[in-house]
């Protein structure tokens, strides 16, 4: 709402307390990967933005991660569209292909900080229709946390180098009363870890063959899924891990319940706060039969909705949150790898605890990063709902690994081949 200047002059004090009611412009921002520390930092950075941009107020809507996909979709379908959204890469196509996201290219062309923005950010943010619908705020790469004390107690002197070692080590540690080898994630967010082990066992990264057929039900992939089910059934993972999400797996690791955890750098925040740096380390992921491993590389970033009535102010907010200063502060708090060139030289990332992730990044011949097929419109629903429900059934013996992967492959093959047909050049 635009306030006449004469009213603004007499209502400064009220504007401070009344917030968005008297703001010239209100930008509505939705965050979807929420936790108290993240939200506190986000609101701090927003407060600094508001102070630097009088008359602009930012309203923050925090959605709980476990229900964020459905809740945001419901908001948009109901016409309750936000201006700026924190969006995982696998949701982009759903909104972009329906014309609901703004092209950020014209804004970036006038953005001074674009000069230091890494090529990955430009590449990943424009993965749908070659259009910059998103600017990532950081990268999540999987590596292996391991508990030095539990390994030593089990007679092991280092992290597993191969997939066979991983299974064997988990079994040995699980022989210790009350301990488990692996913090399996069977609930919200389980897909990436599950698919990663399928790729490692298969010896082939990604989702599809060149003809668009899915690799999910190929022999090695099925073996990888069955491996996780067998580890769950033989007690190498806690029984309640069938429903574990991020918080439960991280707690399981730092509490000493289980000795191994495959996770992104964001888990380091909770682990380092609860464990001595001498008691754990982060190693590269184990390799498969072909001597290679396939860590997932996922990303989340800021998007703007196309029907926003306050696009210029929404972009100002995004540009502030994505600036080198704010992004470096954000990556340290959130636990992602930064987007601006040179930021990785900060002392924060030069510690021993980041060694596993940077070792994977530095050896592309051995560690092949796998990113999701963000062009697929229905990927988000598949990842967040279908695959997790089926994975839980496989763990519980209610569905075979082959049956589940056949169903997944059929779905993904149709999605990819339909997309290929529509985008045939």
pLDDT in tens, 90-139: 899 999 999 999 999 999 999 999 999 998 899 889 989 999 999 999 99
Residues linked to residue 138 through DSSP beta bridges, in sequence order: 300
According to the model, what pLDDT value does residue 10 have? Answer: 34
According to the model, what pLDDT value does residue 14 have? Answer: 32
For the cut 70, the answer to whether the pLDDT of residue 21 exceeds it is no
132 vs 17, higher pLDDT: 132
In terms of Cβ atoms closer than 10 Å to its own Cβ (0-12, 13-18, 19+), residue 21 is exposed
Contact 34/65 with Cβ under 8 angstroms? yes
CA separation for the pair 385, 244 (Å, rounded): 14
What percent of the chain stands above pLDDT 90? 79
Task: Calculate the average pLDDT of the chain.
Answer: 92
Contact 307/147 with Cβ under 8 angstroms? no
Grade residue 7 by pLDDT with cuts at 50, 70 and 90. Answer: very low
Contact 237/180 with Cβ under 8 angstroms? yes
For the cut 70, the answer to whether the pLDDT of residue 20 exceeds it is no
Architecture of domain 5-139+299-345: 3-Layer(aba) Sandwich (3.40)
According to the model, what pLDDT value does residue 425 have? Answer: 54
Longest Cα–Cα distance in the chain? 77
Tokens for 140?
């999540």
According to the model, what pLDDT value does residue 315 have? Answer: 98
- Domain residue spans of the chain: 5-139+299-345, 141-297+352-422
Tokens for 343?
């930021």
For the cut 50, the answer to whether the pLDDT of residue 16 exceeds it is no
Contact 369/141 with Cβ under 8 angstroms? yes
Instruction: From residue 257, give the alpha-carbon distance in Å to each of 10, 20, 183.
Output: 61, 47, 8
Could you check whether 5-139+299-345 and 141-297+352-422 share the same CATH topology?
yes
- A 10 A CB-CB count for 283 gives 18
- A 10 A CB-CB count for 156 gives 18
CA separation for the pair 23, 58 (Å, rounded): 9
pLDDT in tens, 326-376: 999 999 988 888 999 988 889 988 877 888 998 888 788 999 999 999 889
CA separation for the pair 212, 348 (Å, rounded): 41
CA separation for the pair 342, 422 (Å, rounded): 39
pLDDT in tens, 341-355: 988 889 988 877 888
pTM: 0.77
* Topology classification of domain 141-297+352-422: D-Maltodextrin-Binding Protein; domain 2 (3.40.190)
Grade residue 294 by pLDDT with cuts at 50, 70 and 90. Answer: very high
Lowest average pLDDT, out of 201-210, 284-293, 362-371, 390-399, goes to 362-371
β pairing state of 180-182 and 258-263? parallel
CA separation for the pair 281, 72 (Å, rounded): 37
- A 10 A CB-CB count for 154 gives 20
**243-268 mean pLDDT:** 96
φ, ψ for residue 60 (rounded to 5)?
-100, 125
CA-derived radius of gyration, the chain: 23
């Amino acid at each position: 709402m635009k306030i006449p200047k004469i009213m603004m002059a007499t209502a400064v004090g009220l504007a401070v307390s009344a917030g968005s009611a008297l703001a010239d412009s209100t930008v509505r921002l939705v965050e979807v990967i929420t936790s108290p520390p993240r939200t506190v930092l986000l609101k701090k950075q927003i407060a600094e933005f508001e102070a630097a941009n009088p008359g602009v107020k930012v309203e923050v809507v925090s959605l709980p991660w476990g229900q964020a996909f459905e809740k945001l979709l419901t908001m948009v379908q109901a016409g309750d569209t936000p201006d700026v959204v924190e969006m995982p890469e696998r949701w982009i196509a759903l909104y972009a292909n329906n014309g609901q996201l703004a092209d950020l290219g014209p804004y970036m062309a006038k953005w001074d900080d674009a000069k230091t923005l890494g090529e990955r950010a430009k590449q990943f943010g424009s993965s749908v229709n070659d259009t910059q619908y998103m600017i990532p705020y950081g990268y999540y790469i999987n590596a292996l946390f391991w508990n030095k004390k539990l390994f030593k107690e089990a007679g092991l002197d280092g992290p597993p180098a191969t997939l066979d070692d991983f299974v064997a080590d988990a079994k040995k540690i699980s022989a210790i009363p009350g301990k488990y080898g692996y913090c399996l994630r069977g609930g919200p967010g389980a897909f990436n870890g599950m698919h990663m082990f399928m790729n490692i066992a298969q010896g082939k990264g990604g989702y599809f063959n060149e003809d668009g057929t899915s690799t999910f039900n190929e022999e090695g992939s099925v073996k990888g899924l069955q491996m996780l089910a067998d580890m769950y059934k033989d007690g190498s993972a806690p029984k309640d891990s069938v429903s574990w999400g991020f918080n439960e797996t991280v707690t399981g690791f730092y509490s000493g319940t289980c000795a191994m955890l495959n996770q992104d750098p964001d888990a380091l925040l909770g682990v380092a706060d609860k464990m001595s740096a001498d008691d754990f380390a982060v190693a590269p992921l184990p390799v498969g039969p072909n001597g290679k491993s396939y860590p997932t590389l996922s990303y989340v970033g800021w998007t703007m909705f196309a029907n926003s009535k306050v696009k210029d102010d929404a972009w100002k907010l995004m540009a502030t949150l994505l600036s080198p200063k704010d992004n470096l502060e954000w990556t340290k708090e959130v636990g992602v790898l930064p987007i601006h060139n040179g930021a990785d030289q900060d002392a924060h990332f030069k510690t021993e605890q980041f060694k596993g992730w940077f070792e994977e990044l530095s050896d592309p011949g051995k560690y092949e990063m796998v990113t999701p097929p963000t062009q697929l419109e229905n990927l988000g629903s598949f990842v967040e709902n279908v695959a997790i429900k089926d994975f839980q059934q496989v763990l519980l013996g209610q569905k075979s690994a082959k049956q589940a992967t056949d169903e997944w492959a059929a779905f993904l093959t149709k999605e990819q081949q339909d997309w290929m047909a529509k985008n045939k050049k």
